[in-house]
Amino acid sequence: MSSTLSDLQYAVDVAMGRRPGTLLLKNARLVNVFSLELQPTHILLAGPLVAAVGPEYAGAEALEVLDLEGRVVAPGLIDGHVHLESSLVSPAEYARGVVPRGVTGVVTDPHEIGNVAGVAGIEWLMEASEGLPLEVWITVPSSVPSTPLETSGATLGLTELEHLLAHPRVVGVAELMSFPAILAADTAELQKVLLAERFRKSPEGHAPTLTGRPLQGYLATGIASDHESTTLEEGRAKLEAGCFLMVREGSTTRNLEALAPLLKPQYADRIGLVTDDRLPSDLLREGGVDFLVRKAIALGADPAYAIRAGSWNVARHYRLMRRGAVAPGFQADLVVLDDLQTFQAAQVYQRGRLAAQNGQLTFELPKTRVSAAVSGTVKLPALRPQDLRIPAFPGKARVVRAIPHQVLTAEEHIEPTVRNGEVVADPARDLAKLICLERYGKNGQIGKGLVTAFGLQKGALACTVGHDHHNLMAVGVSDADIVTAAQRLQALGGGMIAVADGEVLAELALPIAGLITDEPLEQVNAKLEALEAAARQLGVTLPDPYMVLSFLGLAVIPELRLTDHGLVDVHKGALVPLQVEPMPKAES
């Protein structure tokens, strides 16, 4: 929200002592994100703005005076890259989860709902995030679909991007994920970078594992950031190449500990903190980007710099005016902390209003309106168990290996189990079927493969959250149970489910685009816990199995993925057969 002329006039008058402020925070210790000092001072607010900060304001006139008695004041935190849809709840419920913890802004990439419902879906999310005590800025999805190797619900071309970039809450073009196309100097991808620059907005990156020449080529485009670093060496290489390094700690992807040695003032404004994807359980237990600040401090980062990385650095990267600091002329988004080391918020102010106190919001949130554009999006073909059959073949199969706490996968070559002329799941060998069903009623395609490391012994798990195309993803040892799961998800309008012997063990309906529910966080979390328990009952040993399953179709992160088109070798950017081609015999 922009400041008005009257806001500025009031702030000047308050700072000059001509009018009383709205709130005086006396005897604070301010986290100064510019000098990285903890300064004893007084903070005077004028409505939505900070009017003045300094020792001379101890006796300033204000409508309300609050003596903090030495408690710490920090700027409200800003999450630099998140997909709100991955929380599975509405923007209002997300705000209820994070604002009381000190998060007053997020930069969201509505890539998920964009892939399902296009421009209309993104505009729905914009509408649903208005009027909250949480500012929501948008980066326009650049990869809808992510690759030509999948079927999505919509396509966003340059015309659609240009339309969305004109919106005042849009601050960039979101992660350019098809790095093989970028490295091939693909015209369509590079035009998206130029489009962002034409609107004076940031082109955002997505460059997993890239170092050396490929990294140089990727950044040569002018792409500004990356949030995919998983090792210290990779993160340092990107920083040294001038990249804005987003240090991520999501629900599945937890990279903060590996990158923590880089969180130091020598990198100044080049590091930001982001969550990317966070499930309700983690939002309730750990929080949002506030959790990253706490963890960074616990890992040895200077508290002032950790807070700066979660506020001012992000605001500066996106050119967010008047955000990310507690200083004259800045929007009055600030947090009063009971404890600096653990970033425990006592009060949270957003635009100068008390937004939360003692862990609770202080006012009622607007009700989420669900539009036709994001309803009824799951349209599966008629499905029978025989449709999932994989004919036998000689030799080894390409198998996707899921990796705990990562979105990366590995490709393994394994002799499949064959019965009655077809490749089947084999729980004794930890081999399950992996299925991707096109769910938009466009072509009815079915991608079929094998996956290991789930530990699944019976039944099936399925979900309509399937990054980034969001087709229906399923893992199972029973074709009949996969069919039952798919049919039930269609009846729910999307969601997550566990099935065994034809019986639904647990489910979560996600009727908004097959991605989101408007139920409260706590109820959603209880259903997720029931799904997790059902998965364990079926033998699953992999942590966060639904989150992992949802990423097994992500055809832009190495190594091997499955879409409705088939198996994708991400490094090659091409479809590959399930059967590993035998090596030609050497001539004698």
pLDDT at 557 (0 to 100): 86
Q: How confident is the model at residue 178 (pLDDT cuts 50, 70, 90)?
A: confident
pLDDT, one tens digit per residue, over 503-541 is 999 999 999 999 999 999 999 999 999 999 999 999 999
Quick one: pLDDT at residue 180? 85
Angle value at C-alpha 55, between 50 and 60, nearest 5 degrees: 60
Three-state DSSP state, 356: strand
Q: Secondary structure of 390-441 in the HEC alphabet?
A: EECCCCCEEEEEECCCCCCEEEEEECCEEECCEEECEHHHCEEEEEEECCEC
Pair 160, 123: CB distance under 8 Å: no
Average pLDDT over all residues of the chain: 96
Give me the residue label for tokens 């750990």. 286
- The CA distance from 96 to 89, in Å, is 10
CB atoms within 10 A of CB 572: 10
Quote the crossing angle between the two packed helices 212-219 and 232-240, to the nearest 10°: 40
Q: pLDDT digits over 11-50, tens only?
A: 999 999 999 999 999 999 999 999 999 999 999 999 999 9
Biggest alpha carbon–alpha carbon distance for the chain:
97
d(CA 289, CA 365): 21
**Cβ(81)–Cβ(204) below 8 Å:** yes
Write down the pTM of the prediction.
0.92
Spatial neighbors of 183 by CB under 8 A, at least 6 apart, are: 214, 217, 218
Give per-residue pLDDT as tens, 322-374: 999 999 999 999 999 999 999 999 999 999 999 999 999 998 899 999 999 99
Q: What is the pLDDT of residue 374?
A: 96
- Residue 10: count other Cβ atoms within 10 Å of its Cβ: 20
Of 73, 71, 135, the closest CA to residue 103 belongs to: 135
pLDDT tens per residue across span 224-248: 999 999 999 999 999 999 999 999 9
> Which residue from 211, 179, 213 is spatially nearest to 193, judged by alpha carbons?
179
CB count, 10 Å around CB of 145? 21
| Cα distance between residue 17 and residue 57, in whole Å | 9
What architecture is the 76-320 domain classified under in CATH?
A: Alpha-Beta Barrel (3.20)
Give the pLDDT confidence score for residue 584 in this predicted structure.
Answer: 62
CATH class of domain segment(s) 5-70: mainly beta
Range(s) within the chain of domains with CATH label 2.30.40.10: 5-70
| Positions of CATH 3.20.20.140 in the chain | 76-320
Report how far residue 1's alpha carbon sits from residue 7's, in angstroms, rounded to the nearest whole number: 12
Check: CB of residue 423 under 8 Å from CB of residue 393: yes
Q: Is 379's pLDDT higher than 90?
A: yes
Q: What is the DSSP string of 227-291?
A: ----SHHHHHHHHHTT-EEEEEB-SS-B-HHHHGGG-SGGGTTSEEEE-B---HHHHHHT-SHHH
**What is the torsion angle, in degrees rounded to the nearest 10, for the CA atoms of residue 161, residue 162, residue 163 and residue 167?**
100
| Contact criterion met (CB below 8 Å) for 557 and 429 | no
Question: For residue range 109-164, what is the model confidence (pLDDT) as tens digits?
Answer: 999 999 999 999 999 999 999 999 999 999 999 989 988 999 999 999 999 999 99
Which pLDDT belongs to residue 587?
57
User: Distance between CA 584 and CA 168 in Å, rounded?
Assistant: 59
Determine the residue type at 197.
E
User: Position of tokens 């202080």?
Assistant: 362
* 463 pLDDT above the threshold of 70: yes
CA–CA distance, 99 with 488 (Å, rounded to integer): 35
- And the tokens for 398? 């390409």
Are 59 and 26 within 8 A, CB to CB? no
Judge contact between 335 and 325, C-beta under 8 A. no
Q: Is 544 left (phi over 0), alpha (psi -120 to 50) or beta?
A: left
Nearest of 369, 371, 368, 334 to residue 351 by alpha carbon: 334
According to the model, what pLDDT value does residue 583 have?
64
Reading the block at residue 292, the tokens are: 């990253």
pLDDT for res 251? 82
Mean pLDDT along residues 162-185: 94
Per cent of the chain over pLDDT 70 is 99
H helices present in 299-379, as ranges: 303-309, 312-317
CA–CA gap between residue 228 and residue 235 (Å, rounded): 9
> CA 77, 78, 82, 88 torsion: positive or negative?
positive
